[in-house]
Amino acid sequence: MSEAVQYKELTKRFRGVVAVDGLNLTVPEGAVYALVGVNGAGKTTAIKTLMNILRPSSGSAEVLGTDSRRISPRELQQIGYVSENQEMPEWMTVKYFLKYLKPFYPQWDDALAEELVREFDLPVDRRLRNLSRGMKMKAALASSLAYRPKLIVLDEPFSGLDPLVRDEFIKSLLERATGATVLISSHDLAEIESFASHIGYLDRGRLEFSEELSGLAARFREIEVIMDAPPVLPAAWPPGWIRPESSAAVVRFIDSRFDRERSLEEVRKLFPGARNVSVTAMPLREIFIAVAKTRRAAAW
């Protein structure tokens, strides 16, 4: 499988602030890749560098095999881009906006554009400035899908949208993006978990992990050990066990490298008096919080 997007040691500084720090990241063709992290983690900076809105301080980003600093109209015709702060010609009506964009994209599909307008219930004669935020995002998405791009880049598209609009947005995206690659930045983890195939976690500009979402979900488990007496945490604490807590006769922690046979054997070895051991799968939001808190604690 070839790469639709590739970052190579990309760093972006704003004076003394390092927004993205040595980013190495690959997005395979056909993936729905979610770049997640808290606000200020560097997600938007990484995407703006990819789209040649910002220039890297060092390193590089490639999009569809082309260095982002050399993106030409030919590449832009294959990329759909929607940003939460995207500037739009607000004096235009929805109908005129779509008509205005059509000549820039030789593969523009009039039938698809009309279908998206109906599906999103867009008021074609209303000016963009008079649309709600949700309607503006729908108009931006419709304009980005109508030419069937190979790569769809979405920067925090769910911010400020109500649940119904988010659901419609995701449904249309997945239905219309068949065969395309999607790169989406977001901190809306509940939504991301429902459709992403791959995930990368940025923390203060550094990529902490990047993998298939199914693999991430499989290797994180919350483990609870019930003892007959107040537990003593072992000195030889395994490096993959994070966020330990103990109270009364219970120990809880998160195993970030879970393998059932190996992990349970290690629990039995370190807690020989264990009366019961329970293993619980974790949703993406809990994994994200656990990793973020662990990184913060290590930094302090």
Question: Per-residue pLDDT tens for 153-182?
Answer: 999 887 777 788 888 888 888 888 888 999
pLDDT above 70: residue 298: no
Residue 254 has phi, psi (to 5 degrees) of -115, 125
44 or 273: whose pLDDT is higher?
44
Q: Of 213, 237, 262, which one is at a domain's C-terminal end?
A: 213
pLDDT for the residue numbered 300: 45
Say if residue 166 is in the same domain as residue 267: no
Are 239 and 194 within one domain? no
Q: In terms of domains, do 11 and 158 share one?
A: yes
CA distances, 96 to each of 45, 100, 149 (Å): 31, 6, 21
Is residue 181 domain-resident?
yes
Which of these three, 213, 244, 267, is where a domain ends?
Answer: 213
The domain total for the chain is 2
At 74, give phi and psi (nearest 5°). -60, -45
**Is position 113 within any domain?**
no
pTM: 0.89
Structural domain of 192: 3-88+146-213
H-only helix segments in 121-162 = 133-145
Residue listed under structure tokens 């370190």: 270
d(Cα 72, Cα 78) in Å, to the nearest integer? 10
Whole-angstrom CA distances from 183 to 59, 105, 135, 143 are 20, 21, 21, 17
In a domain, 125, yes or no: no
Residues 164 and 203 in one domain: yes
State whether 20 and 163 are in the same domain: yes
Tokens representing residue 150 in the block: 């190979």
**Which band of pLDDT confidence, cut at 50, 70 and 90, is reported for residue 277?**
very high
Query: Domain check: are 235 and 204 in the same one?
Result: no
Asked if residue 94 is part of any domain, the answer here is no
Count CB neighbours of 72 within 10 A. 8
What average pLDDT score do residues 273-290 get?
Answer: 91
pLDDT confidence band for 262 (50 / 70 / 90): very high
Rounded to an integer, the average pLDDT of 115-142 is 92
Distances in Å between the alpha carbon of 276 and those of 36, 227, 250, 272?
Answer: 35, 7, 10, 11
Q: What is the mean pLDDT of residues 230-247?
A: 87
Q: Are 14 and 33 within one domain? A: yes
Query: Residue 289 falls within a domain, yes or no?
Result: no
- 156 and 274 share a domain? no
| Alpha helix stretches (DSSP H) within 121-276 | 133-145, 163-176, 189-193, 213-219, 260-270
CATH number of the CATH domain containing 29: 3.40.50.300
Q: Is residue 133 assigned to a domain?
A: no
Residue 130 located in a structural domain: no
Does 140 reside within a domain? Answer: no
Same domain for 264 and 169: no
Q: Are 271 and 244 contacting, i.e. CB atoms less than 8 angstroms apart?
A: no
